């Protein structure tokens, strides 16, 4: 069987102008980046009454390799296209960090891929590089201001530099060493670029002017009176926006079956808000009748943030939700070793089903009954697949076996038909809900997420977190949503707690204000915002030949 890279390389993508025509884009609506990519220009939205239907794809708590949300999303879009529907994908850009680490790329897999795969997974159109540059320009201007007199009386710098690679050695560093010529020494650290507040700002901005206003609001430091200092105070927002003027424009590519795909923005849902951009979603809904989007990692992370941050801000609530599950993940949550997930084990599936069941019940709190998509792996047995369907049926949930990896859109036709059937049965649009009101105190919002979604009994705040919450409230930012940062490997804060942990204490270690993005980042457990590489990183197997063909990227 062909590998993902061989499948992508052997495909014959259409020239990007042909894909643009599928979305009824005029030549002035986009700018080609080579033959198979394009940057979209600013496109006016049509009235909301005629916009397309948004379908959100989320998942159960994944195995380290992931359960295939992108594969299912792409396969579903291709299936809808086969059914003669006007459809578009709206997905996140991959970060290079995981590509060189453990998880690999994020363009789907097998015959459900977006292409050009290597370009999208690596440098693409330079969006994440621009975010990195804008972020680090701001950091440099902060230190430059301090060196030349510190007119703003900066006492504590809050803004970190970033890099789009996994590098644990940059989590805690000392900068400014080497004497006065290099500035004032201090303890600092890096985020990965996709966790930068600027990534979130780009994804949540409505246009270039909104982007610039949000950049101005970034809290960069505290002064000697513990008052906030903003990016606008050091006159950085204009130059940052200039760097980002093209990055804010969504990217148009295609699937292997030539379905249009907008790929834009790439925040991780375990340490950021985890959705693609508002601009991309609105353009897609403007140009297509059905828009498939996804929220990162499990529904406890991506889907919760989709509703409480993205949908709350935009009023773009989905018409339906697809919840991706795999036999492998169910067995893992049934406490089967990862080396034994290929072996049939019905008992483990029954035991691990509590994880999927929890995500189903959590989505109901937002007003939805999801369709479960069982992403088929070649090692799944008929008995295992039928058991998962039966367990879902007991919950009143329809489960559909999908084979997007093996068959592309054809392998997701049943899912597409079930989706269309359910959409047709809706007498009116679903009124999606948020989990909490913004007016309640910060601690209460955190407690609501921890107890209602994560199954915790109570929340424990570190002294540091207590002080940070007090400061944020004093600054007048009490009424912002929460962006929880925690492990993606468990519904809880502890990656070793599989299944559906209950009744534990959920620890909060740090709280950060992202005023420009419009939310509060809350760190739990041992999570950090700069990942590290595994013992055997994927980078060891990636290479390029004399003609520029890349191998080893998955």
**Domains in the chain, CATH or no CATH each:** 4-126+247-425 (3.40.50.300), 127-243 (3.30.1510.10), 442-524 (3.10.410.10)
Query: DSSP string of 343-372?
Result: S--HHHHHHHHHHHHHHHHHHHTTT--PEE
Task: With CA atoms as reference, report the closest residue to 134 among 218, 207, 209.
Answer: 218
Highest mean pLDDT among 60-69, 92-101, 221-230, 426-435: 221-230
Rg over CA atoms, the chain: 23
Q: What pLDDT sits at residue 4? A: 56
Q: What pLDDT sits at residue 280? A: 96
Residue 252 is encoded by which pair of tokens?
Answer: 């148009």
Task: With CA atoms as reference, report the closest residue to 11 among 124, 108, 127, 128.
Answer: 108
Q: State percent of the chain over pLDDT 90.
A: 85
Q: How many residues are given for the chain?
A: 554
Q: What pLDDT sits at residue 7? A: 60
| pTM: predicted TM-score of the whole model, two decimal places | 0.94
Give the confidence band of 178 by pLDDT, cuts at 50, 70, 90.
confident
Give the confidence band of 3 by pLDDT, cuts at 50, 70, 90.
low
- Could you report the per-residue pLDDT of 295-344, keeping only the tens digit for each? 989 999 999 999 999 999 999 999 999 999 999 999 999 999 989 999 99
Give dist(CA 274, CA 306) in Å, integer: 8
- Per DSSP bridges, beta strands 38-40 and 251-255 are antiparallel
Q: For the chain, what is the largest distance between any 2 Cα atoms, rounded to a whole number of angstroms?
A: 72
Q: What pLDDT sits at residue 103? A: 67
Extended beta strands in 344-450, E state: 371-375, 399-402
Say if residue 49 is exposed, middle or buried (CB neighbours under 10 Å; 0-12, 13-18, 19+): exposed
User: Across the chain, what does the average pLDDT equal?
Assistant: 93
Which of 213-222, 265-274, 432-441, 493-502 is predicted with the least confidence, judged by mean pLDDT? 265-274
Taking residues 353-375, report their average pLDDT.
Answer: 97
Name the helix (H) or strand (E) containing 394.
Answer: helix 382-394
Task: Check pLDDT > 90 for residue 45.
Answer: no
Give the confidence band of 431 by pLDDT, cuts at 50, 70, 90.
confident
Extended beta strands in 126-216, E state: 154-157, 161-163, 173-175, 186-188, 190-192
Cβ–Cβ < 8 Å for 358, 491: yes
Taking residues 93-104, report their average pLDDT.
Answer: 84
Give the confidence band of 432 by pLDDT, cuts at 50, 70, 90.
confident
Residue 321 sits at φ, ψ, to 5 deg, of: -125, 130
Residue 396 is encoded by which pair of tokens?
Answer: 């009143």
Task: Check pLDDT > 70 for residue 44.
Answer: no
Say if residue 262 is exposed, middle or buried (CB neighbours under 10 Å; 0-12, 13-18, 19+): buried
Q: Which residue has the higher pLDDT, 498 or 47?
A: 498
Give the confidence band of 120 by pLDDT, cuts at 50, 70, 90.
very high
Task: Check pLDDT > 60 for residue 109.
Answer: yes
Positions marked catalytic: 69, 71, 92, 103, 269, 297, 377, 405
Task: Show Cβ contacts of residue 250 under 8 Å, excluding neighbours closer than 6 positions.
Answer: 39, 40, 262, 263, 264, 277, 279, 280, 283
């Amino acid at each position: 069987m062909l590998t993902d890279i061989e499948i992508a390389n052997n495909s014959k993508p259409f020239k990007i102008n042909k894909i643009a025509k599928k979305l009824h884009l005029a030549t002035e609506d986009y700018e080609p980046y080579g033959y198979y990519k394009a940057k979209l220009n600013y496109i006016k939205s049509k009235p909301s009454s005629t916009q397309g239907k948004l379908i959100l794809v989320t998942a159960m708590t994944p195995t380290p390799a992931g359960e295939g949300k992108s594969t299912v999303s792409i396969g579903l879009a291709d299936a809808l296209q086969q059914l003669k529907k006007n459809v578009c994908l709206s997905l996140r850009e991959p970060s290079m960090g995981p590509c060189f680490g453990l998880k690999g790329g994020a363009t789907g897999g097998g015959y459900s891929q977006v292409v050009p795969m290597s370009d999208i997974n690596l440098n693409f159109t330079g969006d994440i590089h621009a975010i990195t540059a804008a972020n680090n320009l701001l950091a440099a201007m902060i230190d430059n201001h301090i060196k030349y007199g510190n007119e703003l009386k900066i006492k504590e710098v809050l803004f970190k530099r970033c890099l789009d690679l996994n590098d644990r050695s940059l989590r805690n560093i000392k900068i400014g060493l080497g004497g006065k010529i290099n500035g004032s020494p201090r303890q600092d650290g890096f985020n990965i670029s996709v966790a930068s507040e600027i990534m979130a700002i780009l994804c949540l901005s409505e246009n270039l002017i909104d982007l610039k206003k949000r950049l101005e609001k970034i809290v960069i430091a505290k002064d000697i009176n513990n008052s906030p200092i903003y990016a606008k105070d050091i006159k950085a927002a204009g130059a940052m926006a200039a760097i980002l003027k093209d990055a804010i424009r969504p990217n148009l590519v295609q699937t292997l079956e030539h379905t249009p795909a907008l790929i834009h923005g790439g925040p991780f849902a375990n340490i950021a808000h985890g959705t693609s951009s508002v601009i991309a979603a609105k353009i897609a809904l403007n140009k297509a009748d059905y828009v498939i989007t996804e929220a990162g990692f499990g529904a406890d992370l991506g889907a919760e943030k989709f509703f409480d941050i993205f949908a709350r801000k935009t009023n773009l609530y989905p018409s339906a939700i697809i919840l991706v599950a795999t036999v492998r993940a169910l067995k893992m949550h049934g406490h089967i070793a990862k080396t034994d997930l290929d072996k049939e084990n019905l008992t483990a599936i029954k035991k691990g089903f509590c994880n999927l069941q929890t995500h189903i019940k959590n989505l109901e709190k937002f007003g939805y009954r999801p369709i479960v998509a069982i992403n088929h792996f070649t090692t799944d047995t008929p008995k295992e697949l039928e058991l998962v369907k039966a367990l879902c049926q007991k919950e009143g949930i329809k489960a559909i076996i999908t084979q997007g990896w093996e068959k592309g859109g054809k392998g997701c036709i049943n899912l597409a038909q079930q989706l269309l059937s359910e959409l047709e049965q809706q007498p009116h649009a679903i009124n999606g809900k948020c989990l909490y009101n913004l007016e309640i105190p910060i601690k209460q919002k955190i407690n609501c997420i921890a107890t209602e979604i994560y199954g915790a009994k109570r929340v424990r705040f570190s002294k540091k977190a207590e002080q940070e919450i007090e400061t944020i409230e004093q600054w007048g930012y009490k009424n912002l949503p929460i962006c929880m940062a925690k492990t993606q490997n468990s519904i809880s804060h502890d990656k070793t707690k599989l299944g559906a942990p209950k009744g534990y204490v959920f620890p909060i270690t740090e709280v950060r204000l992202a005023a420009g993005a419009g939310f509060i980042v809350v760190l739990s457990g041992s999570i950090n915002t700069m990942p590290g590489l595994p013992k055997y990183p994927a980078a060891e197997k990636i290479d390029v030949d004399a003609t520029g063909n890349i191998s080893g990227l998955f």
